[in-house]
Amino acid sequence: MNGEKTFLENYSLSDYERPSVTADIVAFRLRTEENDNYRRDRKTSLSLLLVQRGDHPYKGCWALPGGFLNPGETIEECALREVWEETAVKPASLLSIGLFSEPGRDPRGWIISNAFVSVIGSSEVRQSHGDDAADAQWFDISFEQENGEYILLLSYREITLRAVLAEEKSQFGMTSFTVKDSGGLAFDHAKIIARALTALRTAAKDFEMIFDFLPEKFTLTELQNVQETVMNISVLPANFRRKIAGYVEETDEYTQGAGHRPAKLYRRK
């Protein structure tokens, strides 16, 4: 139709002011703790990737990795690209946790951000990849309710960030928080991390995303440990195995030389 062609040729979006759009990444990973007794299973803790800002604003503060959306890519592609630049890993799955668009959230101007949860397999991480990752570090994370408030603790060596939040509203696994104390985190990233963690825990309850923490083949005890670490709970092995049975399939391989009974390796179904 000629009318449409003419219309589009003369159409201009330039009259409207437009925001910059970014994708921010909340990348989770399991960290394996040291162990003196080789026969005993190693404990794990949940960690999260932060980068130290080299420029204003929030110079020197720790922030979530992220970057601007480019023309010709989807926001998911942008997020994948950012994860790749920071960790050299192509994550198995990305979970969008919403668009953060509060005016004034970024002192540089009108910048809105779609945040994503990303899970990085323990075995896949290579430290300090490329330029971007120079100041990137995995922080141990703890997030617990304490008489009405939520305390978010992030620690890496001697550095400890402590943010305080309050629950605003919750629908499904998506909970909104308000930040009472950012604890030194840049922008509104404390709020984003809090929502990301609740979303991850909700997902883990139904065995979503927990497989992405592990290699292709794993033992059921390893898988159970992932769920327990992520959700900060403890479940009985017999019950876990019953519930997970429908989501995994056996291989004919076993673990070896662990100093105790070998475990059958499973694969995601």
Which residues lie near a second copy (CB under 8 A)?
3-4, 7-8, 11, 13, 16-21, 55-57, 59, 68-76, 93, 95-96, 98-99, 101-103, 107-112, 114, 171-173, 202-203, 206, 208
CA dist., res. 121 & res. 101, Å (int): 30
Tokens representing residue 199 in the block:
């979303």
The residue within the footprint of DNA, chosen from 108, 180, 242, 269 (CB under 7 A), is: 242
Q: Which does 219 bind (CB under 5 to 8 A by kind): a second copy, DNA, none?
A: DNA
Which residue spans within the chain are E strands per DSSP? 20-32, 44-52, 62-63, 66-68, 94-100, 111-119, 136-146, 149-156, 159-171, 174-181, 217-218, 248-254, 264-268
71 is in the binding site of which of a second copy, DNA, none (Cβ under 5 to 8 A by kind)?
a second copy
State the minimum distance, in angstroms, from the CB of residue 112 to DNA: 38
Q: How many angstroms from the chain centroid is the CA of residue 18? A: 28
Per partner kind, with CB cut-offs from 5 to 8 A, the member of a second copy, DNA, none near residue 13 is: a second copy
Residue 7: name its binding partner from a second copy, DNA, none (Cβ under 5 to 8 Å by kind).
Answer: a second copy
Residue 269 touching DNA (CB under 7 A):
no
State phi, psi for 94 to the nearest 5 degrees: -120, 140
Q: Does 260 bind DNA (CB under 7 A)?
A: yes
How many angstroms separate the CA atoms of 266 and 263, rounded?
A: 9
In the numeric block, which tokens belong to residue 155?
């620690």
Q: How far is the CB of 2 from a second copy (least distance, A)?
A: 11
Residue 36 touches which of DNA, a second copy, none (Cβ within 5-8 Å per kind): none
Q: From the list a second copy, DNA, none, pick the one residue 149 interacts with, judged by a Cβ distance below 5 to 8 Å according to partner type.
A: none
Q: How far is the CB of 34 from DNA (least distance, A)?
A: 15
Would you give the binding string for DNA spanning residues 15-44, x where CB under 7 A is met? ----------------------x-xxx---
CA dihedral 128→78→18→178, nearest 10 degrees, is -70
Provide the minimum distance between the beta carbon of 220 and DNA in the complex, in angstroms, as a whole number.
5
Q: Is 102 exposed, middle or buried (0-12, 13-18, 19+ CB in 10 A)?
A: exposed
Return the beta strands (E) in 147-230 as ranges.
149-156, 159-171, 174-181, 217-218
Residues that bind DNA (CB under 7 A): 37, 39-41, 219-221, 235-239, 241-243, 255-264
